[in-house]
Structure 1
Amino acid sequence: MRSHFWNRSAALLAVAAMAACGGGGGGSSEGAADDAGEAAPAAAAVDPSTVGTISGMANFTGGMVPTMEAIDMSTEADCAAGYGADGPMAQNVLVSNGGLANVFVYLSEGVSGAPAASGAAALDQVNCRYTPHVLGVQSGQDIEISNSDNLLHNINATPTENRGFNISQPRAGITSTQRFAVAEVMVPVRCDVHGWMQAYIGVVDHPYFAVTGADGSYSIANVPAGDYTMTAWHEEFGTMTTNVTVTAGGTAEASFDYSGEMMGADVPMGEALVIEHGTNRIRVERTQ
């Protein structure tokens, strides 16, 4: 990881911009970025007789599973109590019975005329951790961000292609609605109050995406028959692609194999703004 400092004038402009994005005083807030616009209009309904399913696995196939660090939540006793005797652990690499969780899989080529998303996606803050750790949304789709902890969190999303936001939620029960206008994989999200809190949001311009579960599996339904390129993203292992052909009424299989040797790969991600309180400096951190 490397970082650089902005000059003073740029820092002042950034502080002003983030102050304008701050929020969270009532029970809920509508904080969608102004340039996000309305959700994309729905395309013609998909004929169910012409669609199929894509399913598969993200497998951890070789090498030692990286050991995740324990998270020190001693300053937030109520949060720490939610994890039992073992305490909270980092979520960078979660492997169970050979399956890798939190891999964002999506169709990256071949999609046209996709319908708009229905309903909102949800991102919560529970026991001082984002839930889910990796979230997929469609461009223009509402994201309802909630605080289930009765303490202060701030949600600092720093995309590259979209407009970011930095909002505060000082107590439990607050919900803020945000959205991203264009596709971007991935958008990092962090809490500046609790440095261990990180999440990632994958934004695509269609509904054909999924995040692998605890067992490494995923499924994407209602995909129009055709030939596609599929991409898988993981925060430590980078991206992988494969070709997949979907047939009407069929189930295509597309799996991805990861190994410990891939740890530290180049991972596409936006830049995180970090405020250094007490120095009045803003740092841009890039994860490499």
Structure 2
Amino acid sequence: MKTFAAKLGALALVAMIAQPVLAGGGVKATAKFDGERPKRTVLKMDADQYCAKANEKKVGSEEAIVSKEGMVKNVIVYVKDGLGDAEFEVPTEKAELNQQGCMYHPHVQALQAKQPMIVKNSDATLHNIHSFAEKQKAFNFAQPKQGDEKEVTFSRPEIVKVKCDVHPWMSAYIGVFDHPFHAVTEKDGTCELADLPPGEYTLAAWHETFGEVEQKVTVADGEAAEVEFVFKAK
């Protein structure tokens, strides 16, 4: 259950063409929240002595991280429409999901379908990795030892949730796409999509608590479009 219980909608503002870039077209996206800043719940990890000791300082939940300036972290921004039937080479670089300090790192990431991802346990305690998927076979396996690693792949585009059945506060989200035009906002609420072919696109911004919004944008060769997404509480 989400700790931020307000009914949420979202509003996307107008995109505009901005500064030149060196190669191809691009998009610089910003994610903001319009409303009362949600409070982060302090996670209780004392059920596992290892986790409690590894986190002697308070650790806040990651489901709604909004800065004092209203910038939203962990928003997946991606091209939803406009690429047609184009096919893209699958990266060989391995993504990583690390269990460290009884938390998933990163909490949100994006990768390409069939791109390898290493699931790693950096803790000296048992973790369980359980994926929740609708368009592909889910996985559910344990990593009982520090240093355990396993390679996994996702075959179809969707946003996959991952949880640890041993530690219920642990969760992560993995955006899986059939193209490389995706990114995740940092704590300043920004991210960039690079090397987009010139054209008109529908962009989407997805957040685990605030939902998803879409926006049209035109990308010109050698230029970067600036897009501001605003998630709005009702």
The TM-score normalised by the length of structure 2 is: 0.85
Quote the offset at 1:105 in angstroms.
0.8
The corresponding residue for 1:94 is: 65
Greater helix proportion: 1
1:2-41 CA-partner distances (Å, limit 9, x unpaired) = xxxxxxxxxxxxxxxxxxxxxxxxxxxxxxxxxxxxxxxx
Q: Does the 8 A contact of 1:50 with 1:224 survive in 2?
A: no
Larger Rg, first or second structure (1 or 2): 1
The corresponding residue for 2:149 is: 175
Quote the offset at 1:219 in angstroms.
0.6
**Seq. identity, %:** 38
Quote the offset at 1:127 in angstroms.
0.7
Q: Distance in 2 between matches of 1:182 and 1:173?
A: 28
Whether 2:175 is the aligned partner of 1:192: answer: no
Task: Specify the SS of the correspondent of 1:95.
Answer: coil
1:63-111 CA-partner distances (Å, limit 9, x unpaired) = 21122221111123333344443x1111110012221001111101011
Q: Distance in 2 between matches of 1:259 and 1:126?
A: 33
Partner amino acid, structure 2, of 1:107: V
1:194-253 CA-partner distances (Å, limit 9, x unpaired) = 011111111110000001111111011111111110011111111100011111111111
Identify if the C-alpha distance between structure 1 residues 126 and 170 changes in structure 2 by more than 3 Å, giving closer, same or farther. same
The TM-score normalised by the length of structure 1 is: 0.70
Q: Which runs of 5+ in 2 are unaligned?
A: 2-20
Match of 1:67 among 30, 34, 39: 39
Q: Distance in 1 between matches of 2:134 and 2:73?
A: 25
Q: Which runs of 5+ in 1 are unaligned?
A: 2-47, 262-288
Greater strand proportion: 2
Q: Please say which of residues 252-261 and 235-244 is displaced more in the overlay.
A: 252-261
Task: Specify the SS of the correspondent of 2:50.
Answer: helix
Corresponding pairs, count: 212
Q: Distance in 2 between matches of 1:192 and 1:77?
A: 16
Quote the offset at 1:49 in angstroms.
8.2
The corresponding residue for 1:39 is: none
- Say what the alpha-carbon RMSD is for the aligned residues: 1.7
